Amino acid sequence: MNTYLSENLSGIKIIQIFNQEDRKMEDFLQKSKELQRAKRDRMLVFGIFRPMVYMLFISANLCLFYFGSKSSILGQPFFGKIITSEVIVAFYMYISRFFNPIQALAEQFDMLQKSFASAEKIFTILDMKPQVADSEDAVEIKEIHGEIEFKNVWFAYTPGEWVLKDVSFHVQPRQTVAFVGSTGSGKSTILSLICRNYDIQKGQILIDGVDIKKIKISSLRKHFGQMLQDVFLFAGNIRDNIVLREENVPDEKVWEACHYVNADSFIKKLDNGLDEVVRERGNNFSAGQRQLLSFARTILHKPSVMILDEATANIDTETELLIQDSLEKMKNIGTMLIVAHRLSTIQHADNIILLSHGEILEKGNHQQLLQKRGKYYQLYTLQYQKQQIQKVYEKSV
């Protein structure tokens, strides 16, 4: 129920836009009834168990006082012996001590039920084995030059449903390679495999000539910098979000990273500069500003391989120009892998790989692919025409 409420409160604008208030209210009432039934069943068990224990306690004492008083006062033997008042008191104390823990257990019965349910979930998670783990002969690497090679790679999230089919390509150190193609063609999957978020079923991935499975995962990812479409900023200030795990980083280096990616263009305009407050998830900054901060964060940590997965998807034209300039500068730092739908943002790439249904359809730089007049040429022409129409519309408005 908590998850359901949190999800719907976060997406309240979407619910209102699509006029789904009534349906969501029906779902909420249905889930409330289910929760009520579960609570009622638990309380029913609790309501029976506790009174039953109390009744047993009362019954035991009644039996003790009835037979004990008959034997003690009237002198009637009980199992051949006379029961004295001292024995009655002693047995009363024994009965109390016997039932006290049971009564306490009854009081904690509801809590125990909740604990068992929570413990079951926790142990289920603890028993889960990671999909990707270090091999016994995995080694630590101190540096990566940025050479990446895919050799006849096949990969599927679900057995038999191949996302990548016999993919092969070679990326030289400090080279910029862009992956383009329609949704579901396998672009982001390639980046996930390079970071070893998953293991491939067939083929081989080499980093600087070493099989990726023979490199420790923590050692591998330490040299990668990822910039995603949905940038996550922590509540705090701008400085903390750029510095992250680094300690004792002087402001000069932070400003240098910001200047390198043109993030200083808006940070300097803020009242508090690097100390400007960042609200939850960075909601007080635009998508473009959050993206520039993400770039600055990556540059500060100086990765050997930079990965941009749709990093320029949700930005305005002005910010796109700033990011394109940043990408040109970042080419000098290390190997850069880019996934993009906007072909205008990857024209500077040394190599462009066009994917279709998990297979490489075309390879080459921007000019080479245009000259081929193939699928890339069609996509670029279509996007260019849309941009021209958009510009004409903006001027008319």
- pLDDT (tens digit per residue) in 324-383: 777 777 777 789 999 988 787 788 889 999 999 999 999 999 999 999 999 999 988 887
Residue 255 has a pLDDT of: 93
Residue 313 has a pLDDT of: 65
| Residue 194 region by backbone torsions, left for phi larger than 0, else alpha for psi between -120 and 50, else beta | alpha
Q: Are 43 and 110 in contact (CB under 8 A)?
A: yes
- pLDDT (tens digit per residue) in 249-286: 888 999 998 988 888 989 999 989 999 999 887 888 88
How many CB atoms are located within 10 Å of the residue 376 CB? Answer: 23
- pLDDT (tens digit per residue) in 219-254: 888 888 888 777 888 888 899 889 886 778 888 999
Residue 27 has a pLDDT of: 86
Q: What is the mean pLDDT of the chain?
A: 84
Q: At what angle do helices 109-126 and 21-73 cross, to 10 degrees?
A: 130
Q: Cβ neighbours of residue 361 under 8 Å, at least 6 residues apart? A: 181, 354, 355, 374, 375
Q: Cβ neighbours of residue 224 under 8 Å, at least 6 residues apart? A: 194, 195, 303, 304, 305, 306, 307
List of domains in the chain: 1-127 (1.20.1560.10), 148-396 (3.40.50.300)
Cα-to-chain-centroid distance, residue 165:
27
Could you please report the per-residue DSSP string of 78-101? BTTBPPPHHHHHHHHHHHHHHHHH
Rounded Cα–Cα distance for residues 221 and 240 (Å): 21
